[in-house]
Structure 1
Amino acid sequence: MWRIFLTICLLCWSADGQVREVRCRNEKDEPVDWYIMYKAPRLQEIYTNGLEYIYIDSIGKKKQTSTDHKKLIDNPNGVLANTLKPIFKLTKDMPADFGFISYSDQPPPDETGAVPNVGSTYGHSKGVVMMDKTTTGVWLLHSTPKFPFKRDNNFWPSSGTKNAQTFICVTFKYEEFKKIGQHLLDIRAFPFDHQIPEGFLKELIDVTKKKRSPGDKIQELTSAGGEASFRSIAKELYDKKPRQDTLKDSKRFDGDLYLTIAKRYNTDVRVQTWGCQTGREGSYCVQNQHQVINIKSVKADLGKENDKWEVKWKAGKDHSKWCVAKDNNNHLICIADVNRALSQYERPGGALCFEHQQASELFKGLIDQIEDCPSPKRRNSSPDPIPSKKAKLDPGSDCDDDSD
């Protein structure tokens, strides 16, 4: 009997003799309150393989890169793998106090090889929530299709190298997942893999049952370590009327997540979203209203402090969704789900925002070119520029589909 007891104890303890809590973890497998990752795209002309990234967390509070510790984003002992280890096992082998939900509008193939068909009524949203009912959990919000590809060391999809992507991970106490579960209902997240035992929060159970509850809502969240206060924002849906010409309807911007963020934080924002979206929206420039300015290109130093490796890419190579305040004295940063496009205004989606000087300054420093606003003479009527009915693609960006 004592051997059985000893075996169970060993399974519950990590190699360093400590109980492994469900927390965001860095490349050293150390727990952190939060982190943000920004992965570069594959750029053959400057020899990036699409696995390099920039990183900042609650401990160092300064930029790191994959070059610093020689662990690319798909490394089985890297940041993402260390964070996701609680789900790297069979569902039947998971502890009774542990639960998780992986959600995505672009899920990986299921066990039969079939890809679930996710309709546009579901949120344009991707992420993973994991939690220990007795302590803490993780919310990992990201922009990568088919992620995690498998619940093992093959978690990174091969298709994930092509475009730039963002990840934000925050450690929360279990009680906060009541609000996070409600957020997933508000954005109508599509759960493609999950294990939520009986007795867990009702909101999480409802997510796994694909209950429909889309709606705009803003909730206040505090990280487990108290390092930062966050806001989860579920955006409003644009209600398009039958036979209505959307391009002439200024109310379409009711469904623009980033205009909602600008109004909420009382600031102009600069926004990065995918450059290959059909009906991609131009910058929002209306007199006496907050501006939403599109980012046209990004520049990033992927090297060490004394070994610069600066790369640039356009929005057509960037699948990430994020925004920062235009004002240098405003330290807002949001990692989001949706693009600025007509089809996105009608779909649920959201963002996780907080104010943090170092993280905000890091992302502001990545902005290379922005899309200018129209001249003041053109701002007196409807928002300008009006998007094309055809895809407004980023020139030279190898846009080959509209699968975002």
Structure 2
Amino acid sequence: MMKITGRYFGKKLCSDENKFRAIVYKAPGQDTGKIIFATAAGSWDNGASAFTNNGGHSFAKTLENVVGNHINIKFLAYNNAPPGVPNVNTKSNSKGVIILSTAADSAAWIVHTVPGFPTARTPYSWPAAENARGHLLICLTISESQINVIAASLLLVQPMVHYNDIPETETTGMPYFNKLAGGKIPTLPPFTSRRSIRTENAGGPVAVHIYSKSESSKYGEHK
């Protein structure tokens, strides 16, 4: 279980036109969401575009180089219900994408709750069946150096990595990321961890705390 509190090529990766976005919440039964902008973190804004709109929705824009092809954009995707693979048994419910640029010190971490989404290198397609359910999508623009910290937390929850094209030349000196990409899992304590990263934002970086625990941990079981 993992709990989170808290540019590439001249523009922020987590973006919607000229605005930086961090969090989108979609209520059950709706095809649009509520948005928190980094410039107005205390208030929610109504999303104007449906999640199915690959040309107008911000997360479709954020994922354009995940579902498409870009020579300098690489990523690792994990999901307990991998796209196109039915009836998979996993030890984790974690879902997300780690994206980086091979041309600059620029990366992003997307955490979400949508099963089977997104499909790598395939045109954007929001699963319409998920409109009936509530979902949360978080995008954090980070530096590449933060990826190893994120991977260390993910190792405890043992996510299913279903796609990775990040070259090893980009992750030299990142032992936790390389273990994550290689499917290795921790076998010794500690079974819980708290780690922190910072977003890339010239106007004021935001500290993000990542809490994770392994299947072997009993911490918080009765809380």
TM-score by length of 2: 0.81
1:103·1:189 contact (CA, 8 Å) conserved in 2?
yes
Structure having the larger proportion of residues in strand: 2
Q: How many angstroms apart in 1 are the aligned matches of 2:15 and 2:169?
A: 27
Structure 2 gaps of 5+ residues are 1-7
1:40 aligned residue: 27
Aligned residue number for residue 175 of structure 1: 145
Q: How does 1:207-226 map to 2 (within 5 A)?
A: 207-213=180-186, 215-225=191-201, 226=204
Structure with higher RCO (Cα < 8 A, 6+ apart)? 2
CA distance in 2, matches of 1:144, 1:200: 28
Separation (CA, whole Å) in 2 of partners of 1:55 and 1:197? 33
Which of 232, 240, 244 is matched with 2:210 structurally? Answer: 232
Counterparts in 2 of 1:81 and 1:152: CA distance versus 1, 3 Å = farther
Corresponding residue for 2:136?
166
SS at the partner of 2:118?
A: coil
| 1:85 maps to which of 64, 86, 91 | 64
Paired AA for residue 22 in structure 2: Y
Distance (Å, rounded) in 2 between the aligned partners of 1:31 and 1:156:
22
**What is the correspondence of 1:115-154 to structure 2 with a 5 Å cutoff?**
115=85, 118-120=88-90, 122-133=91-102, 134-149=104-119, 151-154=121-124
The answer to whether the 8 A contact 2:67-2:124 is kept is no
**1:172 Cα deviation from its structure 2 partner:** 0.6
**Aligned mates of 2:60, 2:26 — CA distance in 1:** 15
Q: Is the contact made by 2:66 and 2:120 (CA closer than 8 Å) also made in structure 1?
A: no
Matches of 1:168 and 1:157, distance apart in 2? 18
Alpha-carbon distance in structure 2 between the residues aligned to 1:125 and 1:175: 21
Q: Deviations over 1:122-147 (max 9, x none)?
A: 32201111012422111111111111
Query: Over residues 296-341 of structure 1, what are the superposed CA-to-partner deviations in whole Å (9 max), with x where a residue is unaligned?
Result: xxxxxxxxxxxxxxxxxxxxxxxxxxxxxxxxxxxxxxxxxxxxxx
How far 1:208 moved relative to its partner? 2.2
Residue 192 of structure 2 is aligned to residue 192 of structure 1: no
Unaligned 5+ residue runs, structure 1?
1-17, 43-49, 110-114, 240-251, 260-283, 285-404
Query: C-alpha separation between the residues in 2 aligned to 1:223 and 1:170?
Result: 6
* Corresponding residue number in structure 1 for 2:77: 102
- Structure ranking higher in helix proportion: 1
Shift of 1:85: 1.5
Larger radius of gyration: 1
Closer/same/farther in 2, CA of residues 182 and 31 from structure 1, 3 Å limit:
farther
Give the direction of change, closer, same or farther, for the CA distance of 1:119–1:22 in structure 2 (3 Å limit).
Answer: farther
CA RMSD, Structure 1 to Structure 2 (Å)? 2.4
Q: Tell whether the 8 Å contact from 1:126 to 1:142 is kept in structure 2 after alignment.
A: yes
Shift of 1:150: 5.3
| 1:206 positional shift | 2.5
Do the aligned partners of 1:100 and 1:128 also contact (CA within 8 Å) in 2?
yes
Deviations 1:180-209 (CA, angstroms, capped at 9, x unpaired): 122222221111122111212243332222
192 and 137 in structure 1: CA distance in 2 versus 1, 3 angstrom threshold = same
SS at match of 1:63: strand
